[in-house]
Amino acid sequence: MTRIQSVGLYILTKYGKEAGTIELNKLFYLVDVASYRLFGKTISGTKYIRAEKGPYSRDISQELCLLEGKQLKRETKPSKGFSSFPKVAWSAVQESAAESDLTPVEQELVMQVLDKVKGLTPQELEKLAYKTEPMLHILDEEKKASCPLLQEPLDFKDVERDKFMREFMLTLKKPISEEEQKQIEYYDKEWEEVELMLQGK
Amino acid sequence: MPAASITSCVPGSLILIPNFHFGKLIKPKYCITLESWENAHDDIIAVLTTRNLKHRTWKGALFVAKNTIGLPKDSLIMCHNPKLLKKRYFAKAVYKNQIPQNVLDQILSNLKLGHIDPFLVLRARGITKFP
């Protein structure tokens, strides 16, 4: 399963309702912006362009189509709005809700984003996407050029990074040092003593 | 390692234990035996412990929390096993939403021990800016 498929499946499983293609693109985008802000990289790894209705990635629909009929369901419904195009609604097949390829951190991030957008209409989601730095940047450029810059790629480098998280990730320790190893041994020994005391020995 | 006195329990001696991976520096059973842990783990974002053997008491923990990191007393919630308490072991759960962001960041920055799981930090801090 590709990253986009894993993220899409997780989002649709946890979203609790079906999502249209544009709505799903916004959810992907907001998750990726939040991830970039905190960790300096997107979760899905997809590239977004400036489309008529905000950020959009062609890969999302293409990749998710491959899961159609297995983990995902795609329905075509008549449009309720002014558009003459039928609406495509995505939803997760319930049996697929078991396990995800995403790490606990990624799952937590998706859940937090979904929690923030809970109850929002697709239009409100769109407004939210327009408030992100990459979209604000492109809107600024459009103003200067006095024309819409459709199909232009969105640059995530415009996203303002979370300073604390940036430092935290930089200083995150990986290998256990000799001194820490000694401390582990110390705690092990200490615990053994406690167990003996608890057993009344 | 000599047993330090309570006052020497600087913030660096506090250990933050991820809520399901558990820190590599502390044996899982060291804290997993906490009776209320299983039920409360969704809300708990951190467990505060001290290495001090001789003064590992609730009173001492409050002293450390209050005097070294300025954590308000009310933000600490006890989560203990009577057996461990009897033997003067303690652990404290710090509930999310009750810790001011700056205090939390201070705790996290001051940690010198432990391999903190980014999951825990994410859960503790949440998405700070959205969108």
Contact B119 A104 (CB under 8 A): yes
Exposure class string for B63-102: b at 16+ Cβ within 10 A, else e: ebbeebbebeeebbeebbbeebeeeebbbbbbbbebbeee
Domain hosting residue A23, numbered range = 3-161
Do A153 and A180 belong to one domain? Answer: no
pLDDT of residue A131: 96
Contacts of B30 in chain A (CB under 8 A): 187, 191
Do A31 and A61 belong to one domain? Answer: yes
Of the candidates B87, B130, B121, the one whose C-alpha atom is nearest the C-alpha of residue A127 is: B130
Percentage above 90 pLDDT, chain B: 0
> Looking at per-residue confidence, does A167 or A177 come out higher?
A167
Mean pLDDT of chain B: 40
Give the whole-angstrom CA distance, residue A153 versus residue A135.
Answer: 10
A95-99, A108-112, B96-100, range with the lowest pLDDT: B96-100
A58-62, A73-77, A192-196, range with the lowest pLDDT: A192-196
Contact A169 B26 (CB under 8 A): no
Contacts of B123 in chain A (CB under 8 A): 108
Highest mean pLDDT among A58-62, A68-72, A175-179, B80-84: A58-62
Identify the closest residue of chain B to A35 by CA–CA distance: B127
Contact A184 B53 (CB under 8 A): no
Query: On the CB side of A62, how many CA atoms lie within 13 Å of its CA?
Result: 6
Highest mean pLDDT among A91-105, A145-159, A182-196: A145-159
Q: Residue A72 carries which DSSP code?
A: E
The mean pLDDT value for B34-56 works out to 34
Do A134 and A178 belong to one domain? Answer: no
pLDDT of residue A88: 87
Identify the closest residue of chain B to A191 by CA–CA distance: B30
Of the candidates A165, A106, A166, A155, the one whose C-alpha atom is nearest the C-alpha of residue A132 is: A155
Is the CB of residue B123 less than 8 Å away from at least one CB of chain A? yes
Residue A183 token pair: 């401390």
Of the candidates B43, B131, B13, the one whose C-alpha atom is nearest the C-alpha of residue A120 is: B131
> Distances from the Cα of A98 to the Cαs of A14, A71, A90, A113, in angstroms?
11, 11, 18, 20
Task: Count how many domains chain A has.
Answer: 2
Is the CB of residue B74 less than 8 Å away from at least one CB of chain A? no
Of the candidates B56, B47, B50, the one whose C-alpha atom is nearest the C-alpha of residue B10 is: B50
pLDDT of residue A10: 94
Do A151 and A141 contact (CB within 8 A), yes or no? no
Do A151 and A71 belong to one domain? Answer: yes
Strand partners, A77: A87
pLDDT band (50, 70, 90) for residue B117: low
Would the pTM of this model clear 0.90, i.e. be above it?
Answer: no
Contacts of A165 in chain B (CB under 8 A): 121, 125
Phi, psi angles (nearest 5°) of residue A48: -110, 150
The mean pLDDT value for A66-70 works out to 89
pLDDT band (50, 70, 90) for residue A82: low
Do A47 and A123 belong to one domain? Answer: yes
Do A11 and A36 belong to one domain? Answer: yes
Do A93 and A184 belong to one domain? Answer: no
Cα-Cα-Cα-Cα dihedral of A20, A23, A25, A30, to 10°?
A: -150
Q: Which helix (H) or strand (E) holds A98?
A: none
pLDDT value at A180 more than 70: no
Cα-Cα-Cα-Cα dihedral of A147, A149, A155, A156, to 10°?
A: 80
Phi, psi angles (nearest 5°) of residue A20: -70, 165
Mean pLDDT of chain A: 85
Contacts of B110 in chain A (CB under 8 A): none
> Looking at per-residue confidence, does B66 or A16 come out higher?
A16
Do A118 and A181 belong to one domain? Answer: no
Give the whole-angstrom CA distance, residue A40 versus residue B116.
Answer: 18
pLDDT of residue B30: 29
Do A108 and A187 belong to one domain? Answer: no
Digit-coded pLDDT (tens) for B23-37 = 222 332 223 222 233
Do A22 and A75 belong to one domain? Answer: yes
ipTM above 0.90, yes or no: no
Digit-coded pLDDT (tens) for A1-50 = 899 999 999 999 999 888 999 999 999 999 999 999 999 999 999 999 99
pLDDT value at B22 more than 50: no
pLDDT value at B128 more than 60: yes
pLDDT value at B110 more than 80: no
> Looking at per-residue confidence, does B46 or A138 come out higher?
A138
* Chain A residues interacting with chain B (CB cutoff of 8 angstroms): 30, 33-34, 37-39, 104-105, 108-109, 112-113, 116, 128-129, 131-132, 160, 162, 164-165, 167-169, 172-174, 176, 180, 182-184, 186-188, 190-191, 194, 197-198
Contact B118 A105 (CB under 8 A): yes
Do A88 and A80 contact (CB within 8 A), yes or no? no
pLDDT of residue A185: 63
Do A72 and A91 contact (CB within 8 A), yes or no? yes
Three-state DSSP class for residue A57: coil
pLDDT band (50, 70, 90) for residue A127: very high
> Looking at per-residue confidence, does A51 or A79 come out higher?
A51
pLDDT of residue A16: 86
pLDDT value at A132 more than 90: yes
CB neighbours of A65 closer than 8 A, spacing ≥ 6? A74
Do A193 and A178 belong to one domain? Answer: yes
Contact A173 B125 (CB under 8 A): no
Of B26, B118, B131, the CB nearest to A131: B131
Percentage above 70 pLDDT, chain A: 79
Do A123 and A194 belong to one domain? Answer: no
